[in-house]
Amino acid sequence: MVRNVASLLPELDDEDFYLLSGVEQGMRFSEWVNREKLPEFASLTPEEVDYRLERCLKRGLIEKKTIQYEGYTLQFEGYDALALRALVERDAVAEFGSPLGVGKESDVYEVKSYKPLALKYHREGYTNFREVNKERDYTSDREHVSWLYTARKAAEREYEILETLYPDVSVPRPIEQNRHAIVMERMAGVELSRAALEDGQVVGVLDLLLSELARAYDIGYVHADMSEYNVFVDESGVTVFDWPQAVPTDHPNADEFLRRDVDNLVGYFERKYPGVIPDWTTDAIATDVRSGSFESIAG
């Protein structure tokens, strides 16, 4: 679990951020950044680096390890602080609120600027990173440092997909992205998994969802992680979110993913609302979704 760094932001100085961003830059070359390189990466004097290292260590934003040299690495908290600060500077975030969802692969918080928004920190690579961290040989791996890179790539990807799909597909409106974080419009409603639909609404809601999949397909994407947990419903309709793993429709496995998405969704409705969904086959629905001719599961 990554701590929420929002309350730390007011007590951090510009120089603390120079230091954090210096460590971030050094991590392009090795997981543990040599202390001696930090004045250059951070554009700070060695004395200033000492002082800032102390402050950032104390706040759990970085970690220290002495290997062949004295090295420092960002914690996810330090990376969060860098992203959050950039988003505040761009006016994408003005106020920080409560958690909206804490998942395996992300932490989502409510935030505000001119309206209610959601901030999603991607955590892909995090579990791995903790496990790997125990046993790894820490000498420089020349490559990017994987968790940081993986989480940033996932955020960039999700943001790009949201920008492509919005507003033709009902997805949260993307607002800003920095590092591993994205800011988007906050969805109204509840997760489909927690919604109690009336029998008379069930087919209509399922039709709406399958139509969103068809529109996304038409624009060029298959969600590839459709479930009752990645859909919000309210009186005004449905919103499909959580897109980082989506694949382009020309991906070799796109059809397989589409069929799985359809199965997950229709299967869920069938289990939760027995007897309400008309007879269906994955093949027939997937074919209609692909060709753009889907109208209703009721035929």
Ligand X SMILES: Nc1ncnc2c1ncn2[C@@H]1O[C@H](COP(=O)(O)OP(=O)(O)O)[C@@H](O)[C@H]1O
For ligand X, the binding residue among 31, 77, 105, 228 (CB under 6 A) is: 105
Catalytic residue among 91, 141, 199, 225: 225
Measured from the CB atom, the residue of 197 and 284 that comes closer to ligand X is 197
Measured from the CB atom, the residue of 51 and 166 that comes closer to ligand X is 166
Tokens of 221: 């994407």
CB of 243 to ligand X, least distance (A): 8
Q: DSSP 3-state assignment of 260?
A: helix
Among candidate residues 221, 211, 217, the one with its CA nearest the CA of residue 244: 221
Q: DSSP 3-state assignment of 63?
A: strand
Among candidate residues 254, 261, 245, the one with its CA nearest the CA of residue 212: 261
For Mg ion, the binding residue among 49, 242, 269, 285 (CB under 5 A) is: 242
Q: Which stretch binds Mg ion (CB under 5 A): 24-32, 147-155, 206-214, 236-244?
A: 236-244
- Enumerate residues 157-196 that contact ligand X by CB under 6 A: 172, 184, 186-187, 191
Q: Which residues have CB under 8 Å from 223's CB, separation 6+?
A: 213, 216, 230, 240, 243, 245, 246, 257, 261
CB of 118 to Mg ion, least distance (A): 12
Q: Which stretch binds ligand X (CB under 6 A): 84-92, 95-103, 200-208, 211-219?
A: 95-103
CB of 103 to Mg ion, least distance (A): 6
- End-to-end alpha-carbon separation of the chain, Å? 46
Among candidate residues 37, 115, 44, 114, the one with its CA nearest the CA of residue 69: 37
Query: Is 225 labeled as catalytic in the residue annotation?
Result: yes
Question: Exposure of 271 by Cβ count < 10 A (0-12 exposed, 13-18 middle, 19+ buried)?
Answer: exposed
For Mg ion, the binding residue among 73, 177, 230, 239 (CB under 5 A) is: 230
Measured from the CB atom, the residue of 53 and 154 that comes closer to ligand X is 154
CB of 90 to ligand X, least distance (A): 18
CB of 175 to ligand X, least distance (A): 10
Pairwise CA distance, residues 270 & 277, whole Å: 6
User: Which residue has the CB atom at the shortest distance from ligand X?
Assistant: 101
Measured from the CB atom, the residue of 230 and 239 that comes closer to Mg ion is 230
Task: Say if CB 253 and CB 247 are below 8 A apart.
Answer: yes
Pairwise CA distance, residues 94 & 145, whole Å: 30
Active-site annotation, residues:
225
- Summarize as ranges the residues that interact with ligand X (CB under 6 A): 100-101, 103, 105-106, 108, 118, 120, 172, 184, 186-187, 191, 229-230, 241-242
Q: Which residues bind Mg ion (CB under 5 A)?
A: 230, 242
